[in-house]
Amino acid sequence: MSNDALRARYASVLERVAAAVAAAGRRPEEVRLVAVSKLHPAEDVAETAAAGQVDFGENYVQEALEKRAFLRERGLCADVRWHMIGHVQSRKAAQVAGAFALVHTLDSVKLADALERHMPDGAVQPVLIEINVGDEPQKAGVPAAEAAALAAHVQEKCPHLALEGLMCLPPVFDAGEAARPYFARLRRLRDALRAECGLPLPHLSMGMSGDFAAAIAEGATIIRIGTDIFGPRPPKK
Protein backbone atom coordinates (compact mmCIF):
# COMPACT_ATOMS: atom_id res chain seq x y z
CA MET A 1 0.00 0.00 0.00
CA SER A 2 1.24 3.53 -0.69
CA ASN A 3 2.30 5.54 2.34
CA ASP A 4 -0.44 8.11 1.64
CA ALA A 5 -3.12 5.44 1.57
CA LEU A 6 -1.77 3.87 4.76
CA ARG A 7 -1.72 7.22 6.55
CA ALA A 8 -5.29 7.95 5.43
CA ARG A 9 -6.52 4.57 6.70
CA TYR A 10 -4.69 5.05 9.99
CA ALA A 11 -6.14 8.55 10.47
CA SER A 12 -9.62 7.23 9.74
CA VAL A 13 -9.23 4.46 12.34
CA LEU A 14 -8.07 6.98 14.94
CA GLU A 15 -11.18 9.07 14.24
CA ARG A 16 -13.53 6.10 14.49
CA VAL A 17 -11.88 4.93 17.71
CA ALA A 18 -12.16 8.42 19.19
CA ALA A 19 -15.84 8.54 18.23
CA ALA A 20 -16.51 5.14 19.84
CA VAL A 21 -14.68 6.20 23.01
CA ALA A 22 -16.73 9.41 23.20
CA ALA A 23 -19.98 7.55 22.50
CA ALA A 24 -19.19 5.22 25.40
CA GLY A 25 -18.62 8.19 27.70
CA ARG A 26 -15.01 7.18 28.25
CA ARG A 27 -11.75 9.13 28.16
CA PRO A 28 -9.29 8.71 25.24
CA GLU A 29 -6.44 7.63 27.50
CA GLU A 30 -8.50 4.67 28.76
CA VAL A 31 -8.26 2.82 25.42
CA ARG A 32 -4.99 1.86 23.79
CA LEU A 33 -4.86 0.97 20.10
CA VAL A 34 -2.64 -1.95 19.10
CA ALA A 35 -2.01 -1.91 15.34
CA VAL A 36 -1.97 -5.55 14.22
CA SER A 37 0.72 -5.84 11.56
CA LYS A 38 0.92 -9.62 11.09
CA LEU A 39 1.78 -10.61 7.51
CA HIS A 40 2.25 -6.96 6.54
CA PRO A 41 5.72 -5.66 5.65
CA ALA A 42 7.99 -4.02 8.21
CA GLU A 43 7.97 -0.90 6.00
CA ASP A 44 4.26 -0.45 6.78
CA VAL A 45 5.01 -0.73 10.49
CA ALA A 46 7.69 1.93 10.13
CA GLU A 47 5.35 4.26 8.24
CA THR A 48 2.56 3.84 10.80
CA ALA A 49 5.02 4.40 13.64
CA ALA A 50 6.21 7.58 11.89
CA ALA A 51 2.57 8.69 11.88
CA GLY A 52 2.57 8.36 15.67
CA GLN A 53 1.46 4.79 16.40
CA VAL A 54 3.31 3.23 19.36
CA ASP A 55 1.81 -0.23 19.97
CA PHE A 56 2.03 -3.02 17.37
CA GLY A 57 0.69 -6.56 17.61
CA GLU A 58 2.15 -9.64 15.95
CA ASN A 59 0.91 -13.25 15.91
CA TYR A 60 3.95 -15.25 14.91
CA VAL A 61 7.09 -15.22 17.04
CA GLN A 62 9.56 -15.53 14.18
CA GLU A 63 7.90 -12.83 12.09
CA ALA A 64 7.70 -10.48 15.06
CA LEU A 65 11.37 -10.86 15.92
CA GLU A 66 12.45 -10.46 12.29
CA LYS A 67 10.39 -7.28 11.90
CA ARG A 68 11.74 -5.87 15.11
CA ALA A 69 15.31 -6.58 13.98
CA PHE A 70 14.61 -5.00 10.56
CA LEU A 71 13.43 -1.78 12.19
CA ARG A 72 16.18 -1.72 14.80
CA GLU A 73 18.91 -2.13 12.20
CA ARG A 74 17.56 0.92 10.41
CA GLY A 75 17.29 2.91 13.63
CA LEU A 76 13.50 3.13 13.24
CA CYS A 77 10.79 2.80 15.79
CA ALA A 78 12.89 2.94 18.94
CA ASP A 79 9.72 3.79 20.88
CA VAL A 80 7.59 1.01 19.46
CA ARG A 81 6.01 -1.41 21.92
CA TRP A 82 5.52 -4.94 20.55
CA HIS A 83 2.59 -7.09 21.65
CA MET A 84 2.39 -10.86 21.20
CA ILE A 85 -1.24 -11.58 20.33
CA GLY A 86 -0.93 -15.02 18.71
CA HIS A 87 -0.77 -18.46 20.28
CA VAL A 88 2.63 -19.16 21.84
CA GLN A 89 3.92 -22.72 21.94
CA SER A 90 5.78 -23.51 25.14
CA ARG A 91 8.85 -24.52 23.17
CA LYS A 92 9.05 -20.94 21.85
CA ALA A 93 8.89 -19.43 25.33
CA ALA A 94 12.60 -18.63 25.36
CA GLN A 95 12.16 -16.32 22.35
CA VAL A 96 9.08 -14.64 23.79
CA ALA A 97 10.01 -14.14 27.46
CA GLY A 98 11.07 -10.55 27.98
CA ALA A 99 10.82 -9.69 24.26
CA PHE A 100 7.32 -8.15 24.24
CA ALA A 101 5.72 -5.27 26.12
CA LEU A 102 2.70 -7.50 26.71
CA VAL A 103 1.90 -11.15 25.96
CA HIS A 104 -1.89 -11.28 25.40
CA THR A 105 -2.16 -15.03 24.99
CA LEU A 106 -1.17 -16.87 28.15
CA ASP A 107 -3.32 -19.99 27.93
CA SER A 108 -1.79 -22.72 30.08
CA VAL A 109 0.18 -23.50 33.22
CA LYS A 110 2.78 -25.07 30.93
CA LEU A 111 3.33 -21.83 29.04
CA ALA A 112 3.37 -19.79 32.27
CA ASP A 113 6.07 -22.05 33.68
CA ALA A 114 8.07 -21.94 30.45
CA LEU A 115 7.97 -18.13 30.29
CA GLU A 116 8.86 -17.91 33.98
CA ARG A 117 11.84 -20.19 33.49
CA HIS A 118 13.23 -18.07 30.66
CA MET A 119 12.82 -14.63 32.21
CA PRO A 120 16.05 -12.82 33.02
CA ASP A 121 16.59 -12.10 36.71
CA GLY A 122 15.02 -8.88 37.84
CA ALA A 123 12.82 -8.57 34.75
CA VAL A 124 9.05 -8.91 34.69
CA GLN A 125 6.90 -9.98 31.74
CA PRO A 126 3.39 -8.46 31.71
CA VAL A 127 0.79 -11.02 30.54
CA LEU A 128 -2.92 -11.37 29.90
CA ILE A 129 -4.83 -14.63 30.15
CA GLU A 130 -6.61 -15.52 26.90
CA ILE A 131 -10.13 -16.70 27.63
CA ASN A 132 -12.07 -18.99 25.29
CA VAL A 133 -15.05 -16.75 25.82
CA GLY A 134 -17.41 -18.65 23.50
CA ASP A 135 -16.49 -22.07 24.96
CA GLU A 136 -15.54 -23.28 21.47
CA PRO A 137 -13.95 -26.76 21.44
CA GLN A 138 -11.13 -26.03 18.97
CA LYS A 139 -10.38 -22.47 20.03
CA ALA A 140 -7.31 -21.22 21.88
CA GLY A 141 -7.63 -19.81 25.35
CA VAL A 142 -8.63 -21.24 28.71
CA PRO A 143 -12.28 -21.91 29.57
CA ALA A 144 -13.71 -19.21 31.82
CA ALA A 145 -14.07 -21.75 34.61
CA GLU A 146 -10.30 -22.38 34.62
CA ALA A 147 -9.17 -18.75 34.62
CA ALA A 148 -8.99 -18.47 38.41
CA ALA A 149 -6.73 -21.51 38.71
CA LEU A 150 -4.32 -20.21 36.07
CA ALA A 151 -4.34 -16.74 37.67
CA ALA A 152 -3.53 -18.29 41.05
CA HIS A 153 -0.71 -20.31 39.53
CA VAL A 154 0.84 -17.18 37.99
CA GLN A 155 0.47 -15.31 41.26
CA GLU A 156 1.97 -18.04 43.41
CA LYS A 157 4.53 -19.72 41.17
CA CYS A 158 5.63 -17.14 38.59
CA PRO A 159 7.24 -14.13 40.26
CA HIS A 160 8.63 -12.93 36.89
CA LEU A 161 5.17 -12.71 35.30
CA ALA A 162 2.78 -9.85 36.02
CA LEU A 163 -0.86 -10.69 35.36
CA GLU A 164 -2.55 -7.53 34.06
CA GLY A 165 -5.91 -8.73 32.76
CA LEU A 166 -7.75 -10.80 30.18
CA MET A 167 -7.94 -11.09 26.40
CA CYS A 168 -10.50 -12.71 24.09
CA LEU A 169 -11.38 -13.41 20.47
CA PRO A 170 -15.15 -13.88 20.34
CA PRO A 171 -16.63 -16.66 18.18
CA VAL A 172 -18.25 -14.17 15.79
CA PHE A 173 -15.96 -12.19 13.51
CA ASP A 174 -16.58 -8.80 11.96
CA ALA A 175 -20.05 -8.89 13.42
CA GLY A 176 -20.12 -5.66 15.39
CA GLU A 177 -22.83 -5.74 18.03
CA ALA A 178 -23.19 -9.54 17.82
CA ALA A 179 -19.86 -9.83 19.63
CA ARG A 180 -20.97 -7.57 22.44
CA PRO A 181 -22.31 -10.24 24.83
CA TYR A 182 -18.89 -11.93 24.70
CA PHE A 183 -17.13 -8.70 25.55
CA ALA A 184 -19.53 -8.19 28.45
CA ARG A 185 -18.77 -11.73 29.58
CA LEU A 186 -15.03 -11.08 29.57
CA ARG A 187 -15.54 -7.92 31.63
CA ARG A 188 -17.67 -9.73 34.22
CA LEU A 189 -15.11 -12.53 34.41
CA ARG A 190 -12.34 -9.97 34.96
CA ASP A 191 -14.36 -8.30 37.72
CA ALA A 192 -14.93 -11.64 39.46
CA LEU A 193 -11.29 -12.63 39.10
CA ARG A 194 -10.15 -9.30 40.45
CA ALA A 195 -12.26 -9.82 43.58
CA GLU A 196 -10.99 -13.39 43.93
CA CYS A 197 -7.24 -12.86 43.49
CA GLY A 198 -6.91 -9.30 44.71
CA LEU A 199 -4.92 -8.10 41.67
CA PRO A 200 -6.07 -4.89 39.94
CA LEU A 201 -6.25 -6.60 36.49
CA PRO A 202 -6.62 -3.28 34.67
CA HIS A 203 -6.65 -4.59 31.09
CA LEU A 204 -9.31 -6.04 28.84
CA SER A 205 -7.83 -6.74 25.39
CA MET A 206 -10.84 -7.13 23.11
CA GLY A 207 -12.21 -5.71 19.87
CA MET A 208 -10.88 -5.87 16.29
CA SER A 209 -11.63 -4.09 13.00
CA GLY A 210 -15.21 -5.33 12.81
CA ASP A 211 -16.29 -4.94 16.41
CA PHE A 212 -14.08 -2.47 18.29
CA ALA A 213 -16.93 -0.03 19.01
CA ALA A 214 -18.88 -2.74 20.87
CA ALA A 215 -15.72 -3.72 22.76
CA ILE A 216 -15.07 -0.12 23.78
CA ALA A 217 -18.66 0.19 24.99
CA GLU A 218 -18.09 -2.89 27.18
CA GLY A 219 -14.88 -1.61 28.72
CA ALA A 220 -12.00 -2.62 26.44
CA THR A 221 -8.74 -0.97 27.47
CA ILE A 222 -6.80 -2.43 24.53
CA ILE A 223 -8.24 -2.88 21.04
CA ARG A 224 -6.38 -4.81 18.32
CA ILE A 225 -6.96 -3.48 14.80
CA GLY A 226 -5.30 -4.91 11.71
CA THR A 227 -7.32 -4.81 8.49
CA ASP A 228 -8.80 -1.35 8.94
CA ILE A 229 -5.28 0.10 9.24
CA PHE A 230 -3.13 -2.05 6.95
CA GLY A 231 -5.70 -3.40 4.50
CA PRO A 232 -6.44 -7.07 3.74
CA ARG A 233 -3.71 -9.44 4.86
CA PRO A 234 -1.62 -11.25 2.25
CA PRO A 235 -1.82 -15.05 2.65
CA LYS A 236 0.58 -16.66 5.12
CA LYS A 237 3.49 -18.26 3.29
Ligand X SMILES: *Cc1c(COP(=O)(O)O)cnc(C)c1O
Residue 59 in the binding site for ligand X (CB under 6 A): yes
3-state percent helix, strand, coil for the chain, nearest multiple of 5: 45, 15, 35
Interaction residues for ligand X, span 65-124 (CB under 6 A):
85-86
Residue 169 in the binding site for ligand X (CB under 6 A): yes
Residue 209 in the binding site for ligand X (CB under 6 A): yes
CB of 236 to ligand X, least distance (A): 11
**Which helix (H) or strand (E) covers residue 200, if one does?**
none
Cβ partners under 8 Å of residue 149, min gap 6 = none
Only segment of 48-56, 67-75, 107-115, 223-231 that touches ligand X (CB under 6 A)? 223-231
Alpha-carbon distances of 232 from 23, 129, 187, 204, 224, rounded to whole Å: 27, 28, 29, 25, 15
Only segment of 4-12, 89-97, 120-128, 205-213 that touches ligand X (CB under 6 A)? 205-213
Residue 227 in the binding site for ligand X (CB under 6 A): yes
The helix/strand/coil state of 126 is strand
**Which helix (H) or strand (E) covers residue 105, if one does?**
strand 102-106
Interaction residues for ligand X, span 7-46 (CB under 6 A):
36, 38
CB of 81 to ligand X, least distance (A): 16
Q: Applying CB under 6 A, which residues contact ligand X?
A: 36, 38, 59, 85-86, 169, 208-210, 224-228
